[in-house]
Chains A and B, each alone.
Chain A
Amino acid sequence: AQSVAQPEDQVNVAEGNPLTVKCTYSVSGNPYLFWYVQYPNRGLQFLLKYITGDNLVKGSYGFEAEFNKSQTSFHLKKPSALVSDSALYFCAVRAHTNNDMRFGAGTRLTVKP
């Protein structure tokens, strides 16, 4: 069975500074990896995904993530954080041979002006 760990409940950064939200995963075989963002009382919005190929994936709103197979990680990054990036971020994994999708516990990102 697959699983996702987001080791940080909370990440605080100053506006304009780079941000990283960490994610590690466990899956049998090759993974599909995803990042989503959630604003209060809303559904999840897709940010980016890794399917295959280039380990660095670029997504919406200037976010990117790097797939590292040896470390089984898929950390979300942004070079310069905005106050509007403050939200709850979820990492998710699905095995190529599986239909269910597992999410991490979420990391609350707060960007302070």
Chain B
Amino acid sequence: SQTIHQWPATLVQPVGSPLSLECTVEGTSNPNLYWYRQAAGRGLQLLFYSVGIGQISSEVPQNLSASRPQDRQFILSSKKLLLSDSGFYLCAWRSGFLEAFFGQGTRLTVV
């Protein structure tokens, strides 16, 4: 069966520090991968999605970036965090016409 791992669960980082959130998927090949941000327990904002290794589509211009170095690994990064980057970050995967499956999320607080 397929599983998705996302870590860390919580993170507190100072303004201006770098960020690296990692997401890995098991049990499937060539999935579509997604990063979403959820602010204040409300709607999900699509940040990036990837249909293959090295292929990243960015939905919102900002100081975040994403990379997909391996088929089932998706990384969200920032060189310098802003206060406005605080939020709940969710990774998801999808294959074919199936629904997307979500990780448990990372609560990022920038202080």
Contact = CB atoms under 8 A, between A and B. Distances in A.
A71 interface: no
A104 B43 contact: yes
A36 B105 CA distance: 15
A106 B105 contact: no
Given A32-B97, A43-B90, A44-B90, A103 B105 contact: no
Where chain B touches its partner, the secondary structure class is strand
Contacts of A51: 97
A103 B46 CA distance: 8
Interface range for B: 20 to 34
B99 A49 contact: yes
Interface stretch (A16-24, A61-69, A76-84, A94-102): A94-102
B32 interface: yes
Given A88-B41, A106-B42, A106-B43, A99 B99 contact: no
A97 to B, nearest CB: 12
A104 B44 CA distance: 7
Contacts of B36: 103
Contacts of A41: 88, 105, 107
Contacts of A43: 6, 90, 102-105
A100 B101 contact: no
B15 interface: no
A57 to B, nearest CB: 12
A55 B94 CA distance: 23
Interface of A: 32, 34, 36, 40-46, 49, 51, 88, 90, 92, 96, 99-106
Given A32-B97, A100-B34, A100-B59, 8 more contacts: A41-B107, A46-B100, A90-B44, A100-B46, A101-B49, A102-B46, A103-B43, A103-B46
